[in-house]
Amino acid sequence: MLVKVVKKAIHIKNLNIERTLPINGTVTSKKGDIVEPFTKLGMAKFSYGVMNVDLNLKLAKGKNDNSYFYEGEKVGKVNGQNVYSPFNGSLFKQEDKYVLKQEERDFWLLAGVWGQVQNVVENRSVLIKSQSLDLSLAISTDFSYSGEFVVFPNPSELLELQYMEKFARDVFGKIIYAGDYASYELISRAVELGALGILAGSADRRGFVLAKQNEMFLGVFTCFGYTATPKPIYDRLKEISNRYVFVQAGLPAQAGILRIPVPGDFMLTKLIKDAGNFEELERGMVVSVLQAPYFGYSGQVTEIQGDEIYVKIFDSEEESIMVKYPNLIILDL
């Protein structure tokens, strides 16, 4: 039987990445240079750290809306939650919120990728020919950022905020994989802490509205509601924790992507052959189930009996479950 294929991972071999200073500075790289993710391309003096704080902030004792805070110092509380400064900077009030702005310091522009410099714009930017592994998202907000990627363990809903609080002083300017489901509360806390982006298996519409209002990237691998991240995708994410990545909004007819820089000798091992939009279903293929109670879960095909397909769900102690055709899709990872 033919089953629809969803291509989740694409190896891009010839990719131009432009790395740009936030303001004019000094570009030290030159055409032809071979670079790696932590190669310094240039530097500028810049106050690039900004954290927005709800106007309901109750300032710490002895502080006012013109106070200076050191990194890790308590700013105050919002709805009973402690707020700490992720950097050295000054607080001021702006319309309907408080803004904590980092003091000016050296901003080093890193390559973020493996590749070769193709062109340089004096004092401003560097164009690099590189390669990447792109993981496609089902839905995302319309923003694009780059930064260090932090992968939380695939937690239960009850543990999500605990993980966020554990990393509370270290998520500013980072992109976070938050687990199977990004709750509204977790997204709200991430906004307060200055995270650039959240990735998860799923989220609800309230979360997307909140992220959009705060210019945060929010992307999910499955759909709206509460569904799990396919295990093969989560396994890939675990391998790249603390790496520099790019999250990018899609074109008008596409969803967003997680762009993972890879070295030039990277080879993508395909789990199935490339057969376009549909493929003949076979034992051993990885599929995503679209049938309750395992909607959104992924597993491996163990048996095919007519229109009844038996799937062993990843990380489940149960025997193979029966899925009625066509309630599944093949994952090309």
Residue by residue, DSSP assigns 271-282 as SS---TTEEE--
Q: Could you tell me if residue 35 is inside a domain?
A: no
Residues 152 and 214 in one domain: yes
Q: Could you tell me if residue 252 is inside a domain?
A: yes
**φ/ψ (deg, to 5) at 239:** -70, -20
Kindly tell me the burial class for residue 317, based on how many C-beta atoms sit within 10 Å of its own C-beta (0-12, 13-18, 19 or more).
exposed
Residues 194 and 236 in one domain: yes
Report the DSSP pairing between strands 2-7 and 328-332: parallel
Q: Which domain holds residue 172?
A: 137-261
Q: Could you tell me if residue 40 is inside a domain?
A: no
The conformation of residue 103, written as its DSSP 8-state character, comes to P
Residues 231 and 142 in one domain: yes
Residues 215 and 306 in one domain: no
User: b vs e for 46-73, b when ≥16 Cβ sit within 10 Å of the residue's Cβ?
Assistant: ebebebbbeeebebbeebeeebebeeee
Residues 198 and 293 in one domain: no
Number of domains forming the structure of the chain: 3
Domain at 147, CATH number: 3.50.30
**333 residues of the chain, pLDDT tens digit each:** 777 666 677 888 889 999 999 899 999 999 999 999 989 999 998 887 788 898 889 999 999 888 999 989 999 999 888 999 988 999 999 888 899 998 888 889 999 999 999 999 999 999 999 999 888 888 899 999 998 898 876 555 445 556 666 655 577 889 999 888 898 988 998 888 889 999 998 899 999 999 999 999 999 988 777 777 888 888 888 888 888 999 988 765 457 899 999 998 876 555 444 445 777 888 988 888 878 788 778 889 999 998 899 999 887 777 888 999 888 888 776
